Chain A
Amino acid sequence: MKRVPTSVAIAGTVAVALIATALLAPWVAPADPTDIASYNLIDSELPPSFVVGGEARYFLGTDNQGRDLLSAILYGARVSILIGGGAVALAALLGVTLGLVAGYFGGWLDAAIMRVGDVILSLPTILLALLVSGLARALIPDAASASWAPFILIGAIAIHEWVQYARTVRAATMVEVQREYVRAAKVIGLPPLRILGRHILPNVMSSVLVIATINLAGAILTEATLSFLGVGMPPTYPSLGTLIRIGNEFVFSGIWWIAFFPALTLVIGVLAVNIVGDWLRDRFNPKLRSLA
């Protein structure tokens, strides 16, 4: 096996560290920014501790409500990763299932699924996500809308992303269906569900995992964009995008840290995941592998 390039090793370490810290936020963060009672307006807009005027209590400073920014970022990254991960999982589940069905059965079912996918792909991700979240907000009663926000976001992002999985899995399935082991399985009379689940699925999974890694970064960015536009997570339960949106209101007044640190976290996280994803894609691409 070839050695892992240094850049990928670094990116992988950063990604794993960031995801781990974010997921463990309730245990590692100095304060709980979702506990609205901990907001202290007197401490609002304090600069980071390493800047003149900063206080040691708040390493990255505080936001406009007096929240500890470091904690807000850790919790925010957690929300972003959970929503991004949720969206990828949902998209993969949906895409793999539909891709298997389309590739295995073919005919009008295949055509229907793929044309729906084509239509969805013709719409920009953000536009579709805005549409879905707008629709969901209109349908869900107000009292529950805040707690529904993460699920709406997951659905809004996944509805665009599943097509990629479906296309890849369908193509792979069409190849596998012609293989002898599948024919053999058919001959001995196994039901389609068993053939798809036990025989074909394991053979198409590697490409799905690669797409999922690359999509994770995209999904996190989409969530951040939606929250930045104000249709994502509420300010009392912020994701990185919400934090950047709040901070953006203050960039002109010299209070740069509220937007800067969440944005920096987002950039580093997305970059790291993307580098790992790219490397995985290259490794699992048989054409590139044979060239190397």
Chain B
Amino acid sequence: MTIFRTLLAIGVAAGVSAASAAQAQTLRWSSQGDIATMDPYAHTESFTSNMHHHIYDPLVRRDRNMQIEPALATSWRVVAPDRWRFSLRRDVKFHDGSPFTADDVVASIARLLDPTARARGNLANVTAAEKVDDFTVDFVLRGPYPLLLNDLSGIFIMSRSWMARNDALKPGNITTGTTTYASTNANGTGPFKLETYQPDSRTVMVVNDAWWDKPQHNLKRIEFRPIRSDATRVAALLSGELDMIAPAPLQDLARIGQAAGFKVVEEPSLRLIFLGMNWRPELIAEPGKKNPLLDLRVRQALWHAVDLDTIQRRIMRGKSRTVGSLVAPPVPGYSADLDKPLAFDPDRAKALLTAAGYPNGFKVGLACPNDRYIADEQTCVAIAAMWTRIGVQVDLKIESRTTYFPRVDRGETDMYMLGWATLPPMDTYSVLSAIFASRRGTFGGNNPNGMAVPRLDALADAAGTELDETKRRAMLAESLKIARDEALFIPIHQQPVAWAMRNSLEVPVFADEYVRLWFANLK
């Protein structure tokens, strides 16, 4: 009997310790929404890229200090102004065991450069990747280009043989709805392997023991579950069902911080939230009438009508920073002089509307996601109320990011909310080329509503090939000045990164909001 008891005790103890060891290395976390797709080239959403980064590696990546360091490429040099040569890492294996070679890079870049790829604009200045030998690749550019490495830090390399085998050599596209085998499956070289991907439900990754780099994390398994409701997400964390939530709702930071065993980490994000506009001849909300937004005074009136300080104090609970420009201070091209919003002045706004010929206002659509940015829905309802007060009728439409972003991309919105963190390059050029420039070739990927300013197009072309950093920054600053002077967008705020996690978890916080779990340690 005693022996039996002892054996039982040992058995139970062993079982418990085995279970807790396995538990300790499983990280369970949640965000507001799910990734858009598994296909790295089918989207331009940074959260989706963030998740892919665990499975796929880029040629170069950001280190703990956000500096660029070698990843799948070990070194590079400029052999001609329009040709960069990359040496590739040897002895790297994809998750399916096939070796990584120059063919994979060439096939990946060809897939990304395909005109139907949604992420085509992320490598706007590259025209081709050419194989030199098995471990050397040349990137051919449109001309001299200063940001190639920045761009490449967000381009994930896929396996050629795997794509060929699964008929996925052509890219998917979340805007057009094109899907391939790669939209739901993944085979990268990254620190984690995809185990299951159930859209809007669960994504599970397991550690890749054959990773080429020395792991700086101690995880065996990552379980991700999107939970849209703020309260449910917080409850899941506090009840021990999750180890981390990112983002943590601002209204709950104080309470989580006080709870035993949990901590909140905060940092200003690079992400700026702003409203884009419809530039077509007619608004969707008022077909058959001239689009009032084409008048500068109307755009300024809408800007003057938004009480940014109250949004900052009440909705963002003082955690955000009110902005007047479209990039955050650490981003090259930022200028503090431009970072001043138009003053909140409803009377001025009404006067401007009257001067523009809309004394009784007009009708405009406002579209927003409810699970992408911090307090996005609340912010939009508040702005709709503020505009209504100057006589503008607002047709408010709030929906989940999975339907919202494709709708915005298709140009089916009047005013729409967008957040931009200048990723992957972390440079104002990302705003200039993707949002300011009109849609032509690889430019204007996020300019869905026909905005066309010739000077901005010229600046996009020029800054893309300018190697003199002073001149280049002057061009970037000029583009931001035009955007502000012409009120092309209504900037709202720079949102904070606020994550909440168990005390036993260490994850560095980055301004680009990337959750880099390859730096995570669970005690």
Interface of A with B (CB < 8 Å)? 35-42, 44-45, 64-66, 142-143, 145-146, 230, 234-236, 248-255
| Cross-chain contact A41 with B382 (CB below 8 angstroms) | yes
Partner of A39, one of B235, B252, B382: B382
Given A36-B385, A254-B255: A143 and B231 within 8 A (CB)? no
| Cross-chain contact B231 with A37 (CB below 8 angstroms) | no
Residues in chain A near residue B384, CB distance under 8 A: 36, 236
Nearest chain B residue, comparing its CB with the CB of A43: B314
| Cross-chain contact B381 with A249 (CB below 8 angstroms) | no
| Cross-chain contact A65 with B252 (CB below 8 angstroms) | no
Residues in chain A near residue B397, CB distance under 8 A: 142, 145-146
| Cross-chain contact A249 with B388 (CB below 8 angstroms) | no
Q: How far is the CB of A206 from chain B (nearest CB, A)?
A: 44
Given A36-B385, A253-B254: A41 and B396 within 8 A (CB)? no
| Cross-chain contact B314 with A37 (CB below 8 angstroms) | no
Residues in chain A near residue B255, CB distance under 8 A: 252-254
| Cross-chain contact B231 with A39 (CB below 8 angstroms) | no
Q: How far is the CA of A248 from the CA of B235 in the complex (A)?
A: 11
Q: How far is the CA of A66 from the CA of B388 in the complex (A)?
A: 15
How many residues of B are counted as interface, with CB atoms below 8 angstroms from the partner's CB atoms?
Answer: 35
Partner of B385, one of A39, A249, A252: A39
Closest 7 CB pairs between A and B? A39-B385, A253-B251, A37-B388, A249-B230, A36-B388, A41-B310, A37-B389
Let me know if B69 is at the binding interface, CB within 8 A.
no
Q: Is the interface of A mostly helix, strand, loop or mixed?
A: loop
Q: How far is the CA of A234 from the CA of B384 in the complex (A)?
A: 13
1/0 per position for B215-255, CB-CB distance to A under 8 A? 00000000000001111001100000000000001011011
Let me know if B285 is at the binding interface, CB within 8 A.
yes
Q: How far is the CA of A175 from the CA of B53 in the complex (A)?
A: 70
Let me know if B284 is at the binding interface, CB within 8 A.
yes
Partner of A251, one of B228, B231, B314, B389: B231
Let me know if B282 is at the binding interface, CB within 8 A.
no
Partner of B396, one of A37, A66, A234: A234
| Cross-chain contact B378 with A65 (CB below 8 angstroms) | yes
Nearest chain A residue, comparing its CB with the CB of B251: A253
Q: Besides A36-B385, A142-B397, 18 other CB < 8 A contacts? A: A36-B381, A36-B388, A39-B381, A41-B315, A41-B382, A41-B385, A42-B314, A44-B314, A64-B378, A65-B382, A143-B395, A235-B377, A235-B398, A248-B229, A249-B229, A251-B231, A252-B234, A253-B249
Let me know if B478 is at the binding interface, CB within 8 A.
no
Nearest chain A residue, comparing its CB with the CB of B232: A248
Let me know if B311 is at the binding interface, CB within 8 A.
yes
Q: How far is the CB of B256 from chain A (nearest CB, A)?
A: 8
Q: How far is the CA of A200 from the CA of B17 in the complex (A)?
A: 73
Given A235-B377, A253-B251: A142 and B385 within 8 A (CB)? no
Q: How far is the CA of A44 from the CA of B389 in the complex (A)?
A: 17
Let me know if B102 is at the binding interface, CB within 8 A.
no
Partner of A236, one of B229, B314, B381: B381
Given A41-B311, A143-B285: A249 and B251 within 8 A (CB)? yes
Residues in chain B near residue A64, CB distance under 8 A: 315, 378
Q: How far is the CB of B58 from chain A (nearest CB, A)?
A: 36
Q: How far is the CA of A255 from the CA of B395 in the complex (A)?
A: 29
Residues in chain B near residue A37, CB distance under 8 A: 385, 388-389
Residues in chain A near residue B370, CB distance under 8 A: 230
1/0 per position for B370-389, CB-CB distance to A under 8 A? 10000001100110110011
Let me know if B266 is at the binding interface, CB within 8 A.
no
Q: How far is the CB of B362 from chain A (nearest CB, A)?
A: 15
Quick one: which of B310-360 are within 8 Å of A by CB? 310-311, 314-315
Residues in chain A near residue B407, CB distance under 8 A: 142
Could you list 13 A-B pairs, sorted by A, with CB under 8 Å?
A: A40-B385, A41-B307, A41-B382, A65-B382, A143-B395, A235-B377, A236-B384, A248-B231, A249-B231, A252-B231, A252-B252, A253-B254, A254-B255
Partner of B394, one of A36, A41, A66: A36
1/0 per position for B292-313, CB-CB distance to A under 8 A? 0000000000000001001100
Nearest chain B residue, comparing its CB with the CB of A145: B397
Given A65-B381, A234-B398: A255 and B285 within 8 A (CB)? no
Residues in chain B near residue A42, CB distance under 8 A: 310, 314
Q: How far is the CA of A236 from the CA of B311 in the complex (A)?
A: 18
Partner of B235, one of A44, A146, A252, A254: A252
Nearest chain B residue, comparing its CB with the CB of A40: B385
Q: How far is the CA of A45 from the CA of B252 in the complex (A)?
A: 14
Residues in chain A near residue B310, CB distance under 8 A: 41-42
Residues in chain A near residue B378, CB distance under 8 A: 64-65
| Cross-chain contact A45 with B381 (CB below 8 angstroms) | no
Residues in chain B near residue A44, CB distance under 8 A: 314-315
Q: How far is the CA of A64 from the CA of B310 in the complex (A)?
A: 12
Residues in chain B near residue A255, CB distance under 8 A: 251
Residues in chain B near residue A146, CB distance under 8 A: 395-397
Let me know if B82 is at the binding interface, CB within 8 A.
no
Residues in chain A near residue B412, CB distance under 8 A: 142
| Cross-chain contact B314 with A41 (CB below 8 angstroms) | yes
Q: How far is the CA of A252 from the CA of B370 in the complex (A)?
A: 19
Nearest chain B residue, comparing its CB with the CB of A39: B385
Q: How far is the CA of A42 from the CA of B228 in the complex (A)?
A: 26
Q: How far is the CA of A251 from the CA of B311 in the complex (A)?
A: 21
Nearest chain B residue, comparing its CB with the CB of A37: B388
Residues in chain B near residue A235, CB distance under 8 A: 377, 381, 398
| Cross-chain contact B396 with A249 (CB below 8 angstroms) | no
Nearest chain A residue, comparing its CB with the CB of B391: A37
Q: How far is the CA of A142 from the CA of B228 in the complex (A)?
A: 22
Q: How far is the CA of A234 from the CA of B377 in the complex (A)?
A: 11
Q: How far is the CB of B258 from chain A (nearest CB, A)?
A: 11
Nearest chain B residue, comparing its CB with the CB of A254: B255
Q: How far is the CA of A137 from the CA of B307 in the complex (A)?
A: 33
| Cross-chain contact B389 with A250 (CB below 8 angstroms) | no
Q: How far is the CA of A66 from the CA of B313 in the complex (A)?
A: 13
Q: How far is the CA of A87 from the CA of B394 in the complex (A)?
A: 29
Residues in chain A near residue B229, CB distance under 8 A: 248-249
Q: How far is the CA of A134 from the CA of B384 in the complex (A)?
A: 26
